[in-house]
Amino acid sequence: MKKKSVPDNRRQRKDKPRKPYFQKGKRESKPTQGEASNLVRLNKYLADAGICSRREADKLIESGVVKINGKVVTQLGTKVGYEDKVQYGGETLRKEKLQYVLLNKPKEYITTSDDPQNRKTVMMLVERACKERIYPVGRLDRNTLGLLLFTNDGDVAKKLTHPKHVIKKIYHIFLNKALTKNDLLELGKGIELEDGFIQPDKISWVEDAGDKSQVGIELHSGRNRIVRRMFEHLGYKVVKLDRVFFAGFTKKDLPRGKWRHLTEKEIGLLKRL
């Protein structure tokens, strides 16, 4: 039996897309909140505006100090578009460009955004780095030298300061006397301080230093004055403390007291830590 042929005008071309069906007279509905691709969570919007971290933003939202289009919003998880008017403290917010600035901190500068005693702060050193408000990630003591990162990216700041992320830090330490082998081994095994046990990831004398009063130590703890307290516990005084490595960055080509912006590649690596 001969198969009937199908007329050409009835054949369906596979490469010809069908026209979408629209009901006559029915307008396409506007995307609801949460469906539009440009919507973000309100806590992220506040963090991107340089106000605070996401966790801190949640507290601000719950306290009723944030408004969207003139209305107070207290529900966590609320989403907002960049065309919306978001206000905090009477100020209309705009998403800031995210900035990442690396400083080689000198002595005599304290790590704070403001000091009631009018002492020199690290903010004075980076005040011309960008127009956005940036803040130091973590702290370095007034007389501690070395790498300090500034950013307005709340998520990155939170990740770099939380112990669970194990952010690598290396310090070059100058002691008032040679570190003995026994004390080196004791520090390597970990010691008990007044606020708990602490063990460095690595510790050794600095090669080619000429004496054993210079020590290199790697750790990820962010406890207050932790390096100085470790050596003071064993009767040593730290004469000079220099953070030479932080979160993948070194002081190469960055003189003391100077800063530089991270490259796009460095920012990408930082976010993947």
Annotated catalytic sites, by residue? 141
Q: Which parts of 122-184 are beta strand (E)? A: 135-136, 144-151, 169-175
Q: Which two tokens stand for residue 3?
A: 């198969």
Q: What is the DSSP letter of 266?
A: H
Which residues, 6 or more positions from 101, have their beta carbon under 8 angstroms from its beta carbon? 126, 129, 130, 134, 149, 150, 151, 259, 260, 261, 262
- Which of 170, 143, 149 lies closest to 98 in space, CA to CA? 149
Q: What is the DSSP letter of 39?
A: -
d(C-alpha 212, C-alpha 234), whole Å = 15
Cβ 209 vs Cβ 135: under 8 Å? no
The H or E element spanning position 200 is: none
Q: What is the DSSP letter of 240?
A: E
Beta strands 259-261 and 249-250, pairing class: unpaired
Query: Residue 69's Cα: distance from chain center in Å?
Result: 30
d(C-alpha 49, C-alpha 96), whole Å = 5
Q: Is 186 helix (H, G, I), strand (E, B) or coil?
A: helix
The H or E element spanning position 233 is: helix 226-233
